[in-house]
Structure 1
Amino acid sequence: MSNQIIVTTGIYDAIKDTLRRKKVSIPEEKKLTEELRKAKQVLRRDLPADVVTVERKVTLKDHTLDFEHEYIFVPSAKEKVKKNKHSILSDIALAVVGYKVGDIIDWPFRDGARKIEILKVEAWEG
């Protein structure tokens, strides 16, 4: 598992803003703060194709609840959960953003800690 997330400066700033606005639980805030401290910031064009970010379709396996699901992560303004378009600042996106295919993340969701594995990341054109 990566011990360092890779994010664009825009995503980094959006997560910092989310933390500042207290939009996440205390355990999530601690985890995100720790991740951002070690994060590698890159330009969008330098972001590896297998890293979770905005405008990507991501297949996740939840080992705790034992299911797989595909998510499309979009800018917050384009979120349409009924069409499976989730904000990059949603709980599930914050848990996996910056991680890459093969990574397994232990995340303190509001309804309990879960182990999430990133199975696939692909470009998505809205």
Structure 2
Amino acid sequence: MVAGTGVFIAQFTLRQPWAMTAAIAIAAAHAAEAGVREASVVLVLQGLLAAAVMGLLRRGARRADLALSEEASARASVRARSAARTDELDQQRLLHDTVLATLTMVGTGSITRESAALPQRAPADLASSKACGHTPT
């Protein structure tokens, strides 16, 4: 019973080929103590089966890790594109709400060149335009 448990523990905790080496060593120690019997052969078979199960589990875990990593990468890419679009819309809104509003008021005559508000408004609008990445012409 102890030998069988040792074989399974070796397969579940050690990497190959060390796990199978440990299983064979346990089976050999069992055979040396009790003589070569079918129990020693069963121990080796248990080691092989447990090694196969652990190989499948590890392969499945690697695939799951890869799938989760790809999904996280895709989500991060979507978030980055969304953030870039939101930033672009914010910049366009800022430009629309400041520079274009001032130009509209000048164009409609609401603010004239002689108006005291225009010299105050123009530098702020220019700064907003530069912040949005636009170069004045």
Is the TM-score greater than 0.5?
no
TM-score (norm 1): 0.21
TM-score (norm 2): 0.19
Higher share in strand: 1
Higher share in helix: 2
* Higher-RCO chain (CA-CA 8 Å, sequence separation at least 6): 1
